[in-house]
Structure 1
Amino acid sequence: MTVAPTPLATRREDLMARLAEPHQYDVAVIGGGATGLGVALDAAARGFKVVLVESYDFAKGSSSRATKLVHGGVRYLAQGNISLVREALHERTRLLHNAPHLATPLPFVMPSYKLWETPFYGAGLVIYDALAGQAGLGKTEFLGRAKTLRYLPTVQPRGLKGGVMYWDGQFDDARLALALARTAAQRGALLVNYCAATDLIHEDGKVVGLTCEDHETGRCYTLRARCVINAAGVWVDELRQKDGEAIGRIAKPMVAPSQGVHIVVDRAFLPGDHALLVPRTADGRVLFAVPWLGQVILGTTDTPRHDLAREPEPFREEVEFILREAARYLNRAPTRADVKSIWVGLRPLVKPPDDDGDHTKGLSREHTVLVSRGGLVTVTGGKWTTYRAMAEDVLEKCFDASLLARKKSGVTADLLLVGGEGVARTKRPRISDPPGLHAYGSEQGAVQSLPGADVPLGGGLSEAMVRFAARYEYARVVEDVLARRSRLLFLDARLAGCMAQTAGAILAQETGVDPQIGAFTELAQHYLHLPD
């Protein structure tokens, strides 16, 4: 039996003491989302000296607001982007292997209401299977009406002809981000949340480090590094502008943000273990209903957005669209009163840059890597499924620009993340199940050994889980615990708000700092607000 390593403590005092030490890092990463954490892990696993700073909490932005799918991208297949689909399918399998406690295969059913839909969509999905090859999760199956209703018992039966079932994956995005951070830390990287990069340090026109500020104390730190990587997601342009100003150039914006609205309703709207996917709704967009952590997520594809709010408001027309289209395909129509939580995720879509002095490398996927004349490496775009491949691409670009000495690649291809040790692939937890200890994988025993293991707080959370979050998972405020260490804010915002006082009191015992209970209570109301 594989024994999980002893969890690595994340005492804030120790982290900040390390940050204050004069040190020459190989890699300094700005941004603690999927991309930045993936880069930090890859660099640390290759033996580089790595530091990462995040202005808020790890995965606070887009990386905790994904659709929770590990997928190859069926829609990209329809666009003819075969190379992107093939890579994503293989990265999908790697992610499922490396985080068996946080990612699992998930069957999708496309119901057919016209006779041509089953053979048409089924043919494309057979190609999808073929591109996956040995990395496939299961075969596409053509379904009759009876079997479609068996898999989707609450789908609208009127006019139903049949359907197609295919396989993709599902995961817990915020906890996967945390696993990346903790795995990087095990390999020597220093990662600090609530520590914002405030400026870049230039010498002779080259980026040689950064300054950052601790949100809790206001203390400023200077970090020197051979390579500074800007992985701030939709916010990368702010640092690019600072870099450009230092050398007398204007960096043109490269990000065009878009948003995806997600609505959570009770599992009764879609019981069972199959997700519903409508590949083409009335206006040509995608609609999905995905079982996740005991509830159901309803959502659609991205729409343009022109601001970069940390807690963006959903557009009224998007909410109406999701509820209206869900009513067309579910036997029981969800209403505004049924919404348990609603959240918006911003996605950094990359605009084709003009010639602004940057050396640009076009990549065969959705992300882009730029190296400025000052040597600032910026990466943005992409998606969760390919975070590992994105990290490899970033480091390759650093090697090509002679910012780092080349080291062996592929070190993360089969690297188990924290908690994944000894978790049997054949008995992996289902991410569609309600929250519980299964999210900790091989660390369940460590959680249960803490005070309060037998004291449930509600929503699958125990007192011991709050203590574990504070001691080993970088949690500082109650939002960290109820939004990202557990996912309660995203599942049931009303319940999360009710639990803030209890969870916050435990967290305060552990950290000795203000857990910001009032701020979280207001945030929980934000996750319940539907625009008029």
Structure 2
Amino acid sequence: MEALKERGLLLQNAPHLVRDLAFVVPNYEWWEAPFYGLGLKLYQVLAGKYGFGKSRLLSREETLQHLPTLKTMGLRGGAVYFDGQFDDARLLIHMAFTAFEQGATLLNYVQVTGVTRDAQDFVDGVLARDIESGEELCASARVVINATGAFSDNLRRSADPSVKPLIAPSQGVHLVFSCDFLPGNSAIMVPHTSDGRVLFAIPWHGHVLVGTTDTPIASAALEPVAMEQEIEFILSTAGEYLAKAPTRRDVLSVFAGIRPLVRAEGTVSTAALSRDHIIHIDGSGLMTICGGKWTTYRHMAEDCVDQAATMAQLPEKPCVTRHLRIHGFPVSDEGVPPALAVYGEDAREIREVIRQHPALGELLHSSLPYLKAEVVWSARQEMARTVEDVLARRTRALFLNARAALEMAPTVADLMASELDWNEVTKQRQLADFRTIAANYLLPG
């Protein structure tokens, strides 16, 4: 229920980053229509005023109107419900700038190397290092909040090596294909695959995103890599529902992410672990928030800051984020091209960059919608410091089409070199680093 409310607030506060999306559950068995119909009614009631659209059952013909490339043999009909879709990279950047506008200090490419302690041996700050300059930093605080996701236990152990782990990391893999495999604006949702998992095929930035897996892993990596069995599972399961079964040659990009699930004693499968968040305070006084999911990020932050304020004995203050507009909240979308819509009001500034330098209005690559001006904007205004920052964390180029991202990387490096005053050695090192990372997004034939 909380997730449904937060989803509605996210649409309200960041309409430039969130849109509604129809999910269709195809029915091939006689019992699926009444079963899913009952579930959708409950979903509709729970969503209430926060719902994105009316759920209903679909005829066979209506199902194929939504999903024209769906396998037709045995198809009886479907069920449609509405959920939200957002651009996670853009939301993260816009949230950071919203925090800055509220008085936060942002430190990009600064790594925490340890904690400091007071006379009572409680954590009262962090030691850090600027990755670029090598400068050592120290920041003191009444409360230190560990919000490092899948890496939460690393910082906890640096404060107290004896702590028991909180995180049970799980890997999820996605494959990206051409929109030919799923034309239109509706997604496929398969609630029960052959091994009990859930599969989605979703329209995403003019492509199709298919996933996901839920694979327990021993430890989290900064650059997780898809396992062969995960890739084969997605390909084979997608082939059971799509008229044209996708193959390895059709994969434009493959990527993996890590879920910071909260460990539960006696649970073997990460698929059974709760996606709810917890706030944990170690004996050292270090506060850790972990678990949760993107949809409930605001509620997680509210709970965490309220707890931190209590620990720090600060005056009570009501939370303001429930109705706080996210940076870029559009006053008007008049004159904003669709490709720049995710920037919200910042799109006008990017258009001004293009007006001053028309060549920056050119595409970086014919296969993707990103403009040269976006590279310049990212370097000037969004703290992009690497080629990877631009192609993976400001745009979604690497995730959409890894080969195209590699081909546009030299142009991106040239533009960033001009903005950040890189010499040739730095530029070539940036390109080499990006090629190493991008190799993991390419699927060997």
**TM-score, L = length of structure 2:** 0.92
Describe the SS at the equivalent of 2:361.
Answer: coil
Q: Distance in 2 between matches of 1:304 and 1:233?
A: 15
Match of 2:435 among 498, 518, 521: 521
Q: Distance in 2 between matches of 1:194 and 1:108?
A: 38
What letter corresponds to residue 160 of structure 2 in structure 1? G
Q: Does 1:276 align with 2:188?
A: yes
Q: Does 1:367 align with 2:287?
A: no
* Contact kept? 1:260, 1:302, Cα under 8 Å: yes
Q: Distance in 1 between matches of 2:283 and 2:111?
A: 24
- For 1:19-30, list aligned pairs within 5 A: none
- For 1:440-519, list aligned pairs within 5 A: 440-450=343-353, 451=357, 452-458=359-365, 459-513=368-422, 514-515=426-427, 516-519=430-433
Q: Distance in 1 between matches of 2:309 and 2:178?
A: 49
Q: Distance in 2 between matches of 1:512 and 1:182?
A: 24
Q: Distance in 2 between matches of 1:118 and 1:409?
A: 45
Per the TM alignment, residue 525 of structure 1 is displaced from its structure 2 partner at its CA by: 1.9
1:387 counterpart residue number: 297
Q: Does 1:324 align with 2:253?
A: no
Match of 1:129 among 44, 61, 78: 44
Describe the SS at the equivalent of 1:164.
Answer: strand
* Contact kept? 1:227, 1:398, Cα under 8 Å: yes
Q: Distance in 2 between matches of 1:106 and 1:321?
A: 25
Per the TM alignment, residue 399 of structure 1 is displaced from its structure 2 partner at its CA by: 3.0
1:166 counterpart residue number: 81
Q: Distance in 2 between matches of 1:302 and 1:91?
A: 24
What letter corresponds to residue 394 of structure 1 in structure 2? C
1:112 counterpart residue number: 27
What letter corresponds to residue 456 of structure 1 in structure 2? L
Q: Distance in 1 between matches of 2:179 and 2:134?
A: 44
Q: Distance in 1 between matches of 2:50 and 2:361?
A: 40
* Contact kept? 1:261, 1:318, Cα under 8 Å: yes
2:59 counterpart residue number: 144
- For 1:297-312, list aligned pairs within 5 A: 297-312=209-224
1:201 counterpart residue number: 116
Per the TM alignment, residue 208 of structure 1 is displaced from its structure 2 partner at its CA by: 1.2
Per the TM alignment, residue 365 of structure 1 is displaced from its structure 2 partner at its CA by: 6.4
Match of 2:288 among 378, 398, 401: 378
What letter corresponds to residue 310 of structure 1 in structure 2? L
Change (3 A) 1:144 1:524: same
What letter corresponds to residue 389 of structure 2 in structure 1? D
Q: Does 1:215 align with 2:127?
A: no
Q: Distance in 1 between matches of 2:44 and 2:313?
A: 38
Per the TM alignment, residue 194 of structure 1 is displaced from its structure 2 partner at its CA by: 1.0
Per the TM alignment, residue 454 of structure 1 is displaced from its structure 2 partner at its CA by: 2.3
Q: Distance in 2 between matches of 1:142 and 1:345?
A: 33
* Contact kept? 1:326, 1:333, Cα under 8 Å: yes
The answer for unaligned runs of 5 or more in structure 1 is: 1-85, 355-363
1:261-295 Cα deviation digits (max 9, x unpaired): 10000000000000000101111111110000000
Describe the SS at the equivalent of 2:141.
Answer: strand
Q: Distance in 2 between matches of 1:423 and 1:411?
A: 24
Match of 2:10 among 86, 92, 95: 95
Describe the SS at the equivalent of 1:227.
Answer: coil
2:95 counterpart residue number: 180
Percent identical residues? 46
Q: Distance in 2 between matches of 1:529 and 1:211?
A: 39
2:271 counterpart residue number: none
Per the TM alignment, residue 423 of structure 1 is displaced from its structure 2 partner at its CA by: 4.7
* Contact kept? 1:100, 1:423, Cα under 8 Å: no
Per the TM alignment, residue 403 of structure 1 is displaced from its structure 2 partner at its CA by: 1.6
Q: Distance in 2 between matches of 1:423 and 1:184?
A: 23
2:341 counterpart residue number: 438
* Contact kept? 1:106, 1:170, Cα under 8 Å: yes
Describe the SS at the equivalent of 1:280.
Answer: coil
Q: Distance in 2 between matches of 1:474 and 1:275?
A: 34
Q: Distance in 2 between matches of 1:338 and 1:406?
A: 57
Q: Distance in 2 between matches of 1:512 and 1:435?
A: 31
Q: Distance in 2 between matches of 1:477 and 1:195?
A: 14
Per the TM alignment, residue 461 of structure 1 is displaced from its structure 2 partner at its CA by: 1.8
The answer for unaligned runs of 5 or more in structure 2 is: 267-273
2:172 counterpart residue number: 260
Q: Distance in 1 between matches of 2:313 and 2:404?
A: 48
Describe the SS at the equivalent of 2:132.
Answer: coil
Q: Paired residues, what number?
A: 426
1:3-22 Cα deviation digits (max 9, x unpaired): xxxxxxxxxxxxxxxxxxxx
Describe the SS at the equivalent of 1:120.
Answer: helix
Change (3 A) 1:506 1:331: same
Change (3 A) 1:176 1:313: same
1:373-398 Cα deviation digits (max 9, x unpaired): 22211111110000000001101221
Q: Distance in 2 between matches of 1:421 and 1:329?
A: 38
- For 1:400-439, list aligned pairs within 5 A: 400=310, 402-423=311-332, 436-439=339-342
1:231 counterpart residue number: 147
**TM-score, L = length of structure 1:** 0.77
What letter corresponds to residue 373 of structure 1 in structure 2? G
Describe the SS at the equivalent of 1:123.
Answer: helix
Change (3 A) 1:180 1:404: farther
What letter corresponds to residue 78 of structure 2 in structure 1? G
- Divergent runs of 4+, >3 A: none
Question: What is the CA RMSD across the aligned residues, in angstroms?
Answer: 1.9
Per the TM alignment, residue 339 of structure 1 is displaced from its structure 2 partner at its CA by: 0.3
Q: Distance in 1 between matches of 2:387 and 2:93?
A: 16
1:410-432 Cα deviation digits (max 9, x unpaired): 301111111113156xx9x9xxx
Describe the SS at the equivalent of 2:290.
Answer: strand
Describe the SS at the equivalent of 1:238.
Answer: helix
Q: Distance in 1 between matches of 2:131 and 2:56?
A: 52
